[in-house]
Amino acid sequence: MKKHSPRFLLAEAAHSLRLVFFDPRCRRCGNSLVFHDEIIVCRNCVGEVLPVSGPVCLRCGKMLNDSARLCGDCMLRPPVFVRNVSFGLYKGALREFILLYKYAELHPLRRRLGGYLLELFETQLDERFDFIMTVPQDPARHREFDHLLEMAKIVAKKSGIPLLKKNLVKRRKTEPQSRLPLKQRLRNLDGAFELKRPRQVSAKRILLIDDVFTTGTTITRCAELLIRQGAEVTTLTLARSV
pLDDT, tens digit only, all 242 positions of the chain: 455 565 643 444 444 444 443 468 999 998 998 887 888 899 999 999 999 988 999 999 999 988 789 999 999 999 999 999 999 999 999 999 999 998 888 888 999 999 999 999 999 998 899 999 999 988 766 566 799 999 999 999 999 999 999 999 998 877 666 666 666 776 777 788 999 999 999 999 999 999 999 989 899 999 999 999 999 999 999 999 87
Beta strands 193-195 and 168-170: pairing type? antiparallel
**HEC assignment per residue over 82-100:** CEEEEEEECCHHHHHHHHH
What is residue 58's three-state secondary structure?
A: coil
How far apart are alpha carbons 128 and 108 in whole angstroms? Answer: 29
Q: How far apart are CA 56 and CA 62, in angstroms?
A: 5
Task: Determine which helix (DSSP H) or strand (DSSP E) holds 208, and give its type and residue range.
Answer: strand 205-213
Confidence (pTM):
0.86
Of 145, 55, 62, 65, the closest CA to residue 106 belongs to 145
**Alpha carbons within 13 A on the beta-carbon side of 188:** 16
CA torsion 203-209-214-215 (nearest 10°) is: -10
Nearest to 69 by CA among 54, 58, 81: 58
Coil/strand/helix, residue 234: strand
53-87 residues labelled b (16+ CB within 10 A) or e (exposed): eeebbbbbbbbeeeeeeebeebeeeebbbebbbbb
Amino acid at 188: N
Ordered structural domains, the chain, with CATH: 11-45 (no CATH), 48-240 (3.40.50.2020)
pLDDT of residue 24: 85
Asked whether the beta carbons of 87 and 155 are under 8 A apart, the reply is no
Task: Characterise 50 by phi-psi region: left (phi > 0), alpha (psi -120 to 50), beta (else).
Answer: beta
Question: Which residue type is seen at 18?
Answer: R
φ, ψ dihedrals at 88, nearest 5°? -145, -175
Going by C-beta distance under 8 Å and a sequence separation of 6 or more, which residues neighbour residue 113?
97, 98, 101, 151, 238
